[in-house]
Structure 1
Amino acid sequence: MAIGELITDLRKARGWSQGRLASAINDTFGTNLDREYVSRWERSKVTPGPFYLRCLSAVLDVPLAVLEGEVKRRMFLTDAAGAAIAPVVASDLLSAGFAARLSGGPTADAWEAKLATYGTEYMSLGAADIQRRISAELVTVQQQLDTPQLWSVASRLMTLYAKTFPGSDGSKAVHWYRMAAKAADQSGDEAARVWVRGRAAIALGYEGASLGVADMLADQAMAISNKPSLGLLNAIFGKAHTAAIRGDRDAARKLIEQGRRVFDKAGSYEQTSDYAVPWWRVNVFISLLAARLGDEKTAVGAQEAARAELPPTLPRFATHLEMHRGLMITRSGDSAGGVAYSRAALEALPPEKHSLTLRLLMAEVEGRPVY
């Protein structure tokens, strides 16, 4: 996507006119922009320089690296094969891609089975392991994008791939979430279009990262369809987290209740897949939401409900709940106690079970910026 399209999307996600965006930059940085100049950015007649990229990053609440990344965007294959991958590994990926093109690659049903496996494994394996494997799958499926179903497969793989990038490199996560949304649109699959946007929204909202992008993707998912679904459920809770972080308590509480109603109609029985949202996982969402809102009663109730149904094979999520309690302690005024409690919970989890999201949560407890 061109930088102009990204600026337009982020502006509209806030409900701003071009004039309102110009005013926000002028008020914050003492500049003298007018609506026409913003229009020229959005029509790609002019590309914002480094100073204005920083201005846009601040007022639109999006990491600077995301905006810079759109200016210096790379081709899909470069991102997939070249992201922190040694040349010999890139060679293997390229070979796999050409082999898929020559042989036809896995069938659509085989891809759906792969997705189910990755969804389950993501819940317990480390991000680095998943990232290496999905890189290869993306290079392969890229050579098979001849049917709507395979575009749908690619969009869901991209979404999972985005989750494997660290908070210090949030621009890559956002880039892949946005590409996943475009791939889902290409598929014409309404469920996939809602799901990839909702999954991105809950991931960013839960992590407290790129709130403007999280809001935008959640709003898009909710606009595509209001039919109860797991994608819509994720979108609602993602938007609830952005509201909580921004201090909009009323909006966050209304969204929690809306999410509960959607769960009643669309919640999943599958317990251990990243593509599922069972009741225990809803309560993990609510636990952190309530901790961020300072609602101790709701947080404790959600934590108890989550523990009652949390599969014992997923200790990482039990650690999430303990760290939510640490955040509550911090928000109550005992910063040192909350940090110590959360750090002890994290250190009790074997290092190979750690996730990027847990590290971001630790940063939030410590009061450090995420990205």
Structure 2
Amino acid sequence: MTENARPEWARRLQAERVARGWSKPAMARELWSAAGQRPNAKQVESLARQIRGYEKGRHLPRDWAAAYAAVYGMEESVLFGSVDGDEDVNRRQVLGIMATTAAGSTLDTEPLRSAFDAALPPEIGDRDADEWERVTIGYAHEVGWAHAALLRQELAADFAELTRLLPTSHGSSRTRLVHVAAQLAALMAITLTNLGEIRDARRWWRTAVRAADRTGDHAAASLVRGRAAVYSLYGPSSRLTAVEQAEEAIAAGHGAACGGVVSGFAARAQGLAELGRHDEATDTLTDLRRTFEHLPEAVRKDQLSQWGWSQQRLWYVTSFVHTLTGNLAEAMHAQDQALLVYPKRSWQGRAQIEMHRAGALLRAGDVDEGAGHLVRVLEGLPGKRRRDGLLRQSALTSLRLAPSSAISRPIIREAYELLAVTTGE
């Protein structure tokens, strides 16, 4: 393509980049950042190649238009101007991506699929809603089990696609897709918490709550609030804030025994225990058990998804509350029961229960055995699993139960040093 034939928007993209002194890889990193993502080297390289095509005018960067506008601080309409012939643009976009894909097999294939979707006018209906609900169920069974960094990328891609579909949906199909969006946002928040990215997780929880409220479904509104309250216990937020979130989840359930309400009681009991309000925590544990008994059977038997609330969760909360309140016999009984019912593949939950056991031993004054148990559990996990945000917070909570006179003990220092090394890996 000659310089005169190159579209004005393509020349503008290049001029703005050059004016800022950015290479194409640097530009790629800026675009990924504007999209709220942290790319790996391959993704940066892939997008840099696409930027070369954008600046030559081979195809309009529709998927990256908003990111470009954010990076350059310009309106999309100013940056890209008026593009005549949308069908021709879509055709050239597909052909351009196909040509680039043929030239290098390492190119990310997602832009090709997205370009086709953009070229095909959507007709959103119940079949689309059915498919998206199946997608969400799949994620709910993967989050907490599969590699969190990979899940973050996949969730982001699907959430972006769902966002593009929503403006063209109507009626009950739209409500169902908004409900899916609430669940995907919540699953993204959980995944980010697992990665230790607490601030980003908070933003996704806000999106999840907003979407759930738009559905008019009290159970959905309660569920995302309840899960948000539980996961807020794994960050630096005030435990008073966590308790308030928990109470909002309980209220949103309108008195029903559902996953959101039981999660609310779970978060309230744990938050109060950490605040030292032990009698209130124990009373809330009673409310939790009562609600658990009235849950729908499908929810109580669901051990494998993020939306289930089975015996393993009940024993987990019981273990946590009794460990912090000093009811050590009850705590260790709950830990034994939890390990019996947790699925073998639930490495995260089982390891957290072992952190509770270490905390109970420390609370009982058995410093060497408690801290030693914690160290052994951490050392027995692969490095990637030791970096899990939930596991690390559980370990730190247990270490804080050691007597103040034991802080200088070598085994305590070793435990803290191991956690510090784990963070930096």
Provide the TM-score with structure 1 as the length reference.
0.71
1:251 aligns with 2:280: yes
Residue identity (%): 27
Superposition pairs of residues 100-115 of structure 1, within 5 angstroms: 103=120, 104=122, 107-115=128-136
1:186 aligns with 2:211: no
1:201·1:235 contact (CA, 8 Å) conserved in 2? Answer: yes
Superposition pairs of residues 260-279 of structure 1, within 5 angstroms: 260-266=289-295, 267-279=299-311
User: SS of the counterpart of 1:280?
Assistant: helix
User: SS of the counterpart of 1:82?
Assistant: coil
2:198·2:235 contact (CA, 8 Å) conserved in 1? Answer: no
1:81 aligns with 2:102: no
Matched residue, 2:177:
150
> Among residues 338, 354, 371, which one is paired with 1:322 in the alignment?
354
Q: 1:235 to 1:208 in 2, by over 3 A?
A: farther
Structure label with greater radius of gyration = 2
- 1:280-312: CA deviation from partner (whole Å, max 9, x where unpaired): 221112212221222212211211221222222
- 1:122-157: CA deviation from partner (whole Å, max 9, x where unpaired): 232122122111111111111223311111111111
- 1:36-84: CA deviation from partner (whole Å, max 9, x where unpaired): xxxxxxxxxxxxxxxxxxxxxxxxxxxxxxxxxxxxxxxxx98893232
Counterpart of 1:293, as a letter, is T
| Higher mean C-alpha deviation, range 265-274 or range 212-221 | 212-221
> Among residues 334, 341, 345, which one is paired with 1:313 in the alignment?
345
1:238 aligns with 2:267: yes
2:143·2:190 contact (CA, 8 Å) conserved in 1? Answer: no
Q: 1:100 to 1:326 in 2, by over 3 A?
A: farther
d(CA) in 2 for partners of 1:327, 1:97? 50
Aligned-pair distance for 1:332?
2.6
1:222 aligns with 2:250: yes
Q: 1:164 to 1:336 in 2, by over 3 A?
A: farther
Aligned-pair distance for 1:114?
1.3
User: SS of the counterpart of 1:144?
Assistant: helix
1:286·1:302 contact (CA, 8 Å) conserved in 2? Answer: yes
Aligned-pair distance for 1:109?
1.2
1:115·1:157 contact (CA, 8 Å) conserved in 2? Answer: yes
1:347 aligns with 2:379: yes
> Among residues 113, 130, 135, which one is paired with 2:156 in the alignment?
135
d(CA) in 2 for partners of 1:197, 1:78? 29
Q: Which structure has more RCO (C-alpha within 8 Å, separation ≥ 6)?
A: 1
Structure 1 runs not aligned, ≥5 long: 1-76
d(CA) in 1 for partners of 2:207, 2:162? 14
d(CA) in 2 for partners of 1:203, 1:265? 23
| Higher mean C-alpha deviation, range 214-223 or range 127-136 | 214-223
1:199·1:231 contact (CA, 8 Å) conserved in 2? Answer: yes
d(CA) in 1 for partners of 2:113, 2:396? 38
Matched residue, 1:160:
187
Q: 1:80 to 1:227 in 2, by over 3 A?
A: farther
d(CA) in 2 for partners of 1:97, 1:271? 35
d(CA) in 1 for partners of 2:285, 2:182? 27
Aligned-pair distance for 1:230?
1.0
Aligned-pair distance for 1:324?
0.6
| Higher mean C-alpha deviation, range 153-162 or range 288-297 | 288-297
2:196·2:389 contact (CA, 8 Å) conserved in 1? Answer: no
1:124·1:353 contact (CA, 8 Å) conserved in 2? Answer: no
Structure 2 runs not aligned, ≥5 long: 1-30, 48-62, 65-107, 401-415, 421-425
Q: 1:330 to 1:232 in 2, by over 3 A?
A: same
1:205·1:242 contact (CA, 8 Å) conserved in 2? Answer: yes
**Count of aligned pairs between the two proteins:** 294
d(CA) in 2 for partners of 1:212, 1:236? 14
1:100·1:144 contact (CA, 8 Å) conserved in 2? Answer: no
Aligned-pair distance for 1:101?
5.8
d(CA) in 2 for partners of 1:335, 1:125? 34
Q: CA RMSD in A?
A: 2.9
Aligned-pair distance for 1:264?
0.4
Matched residue, 1:204:
232
d(CA) in 2 for partners of 1:363, 1:98? 47
